Amino acid sequence: MHVLIDYSYIITRPRLYEIMCKLIPKEKIAYGKKVLSIQQNSQGVMARCSDGEHLHADVLIGADGAYSSVRQNMFTQMMEKGLLPEEDASDPPFNTLCLSSCFSQPDGSVAWLVLQHAGSFKTRSEERFRSSEWGSEDAETMATTVRDLPSPFGHTLGYFIDNTPKTGISKVMLEYDCL
């Protein structure tokens, strides 16, 4: 008899960055870059950035979300070569927005998230998706609407929102039916 156990680990974004930065030399990381296009060949990968810089590397990691320009470039190139799986060829559906439930972390900190179901499944094109809708301003708007909700720690979510650096709060759409 085989038993499949699926373990999930949740860590905060700053902790993930800390782990990645320990594994990758600082001079190999380019922060705040907007990648316009990528090209790959046997020598490695080249990323052309909006500031005019061309970055060359063996590996390119686009850590800027499901709708990143790195992902879009890769998908376009894979589609042109007939390598893109059919399920990745269309906009992924979503019906859940995620902002902030409270749970403790091994280091004693508290991570929080709020899930808001948007109703029926939609796609990015149906919603006329704009990246500005998912920035810090929209996260603050959603945070305002949930700040009076109780938490299992005896505070409202507003307590955690107020004690979280603004750069640590984001709003994202969760693709597919995550719950």
Average pLDDT, rounded, for the chain? 76
Residue 100 lies in a domain: yes
In the predicted model, what is the mean pLDDT of residues 90-112?
68
Domain boundary among 49, 66, 86: 86
Residue 79 lies in a domain: yes
pLDDT band at residue 14 using 50, 70 and 90 as cut-offs: confident
pLDDT in tens, 22-72: 998 888 888 888 889 999 888 999 999 999 999 999 988 877 666 678 888
Residues 63 and 114 in one domain: no
Give the CB-side neighbour count of residue 130, counting CA atoms within 13 A.
3
Q: Could you give the 3-state DSSP secondary structure of residue 147? A: coil
Q: Phi, psi (5° rounding) for residue 48?
A: -95, 125
In the predicted model, what is the mean pLDDT of residues 94-109?
67
Residue 77 has pLDDT above 60, yes or no: yes
Residues 116 and 168 in one domain: yes
Residue 17 lies in a domain: no
**What is the pTM (predicted TM-score) of this model?**
0.52
Residue 106 lies in a domain: yes
Q: Phi, psi (5° rounding) for residue 41?
A: -150, -170
Residue 15 lies in a domain: no
Q: Which amino acid is at 92?
A: P
Residues 79 and 107 in one domain: no
By residue range, what is the domain housing residue 37? 25-86
Residues 69 and 94 in one domain: no
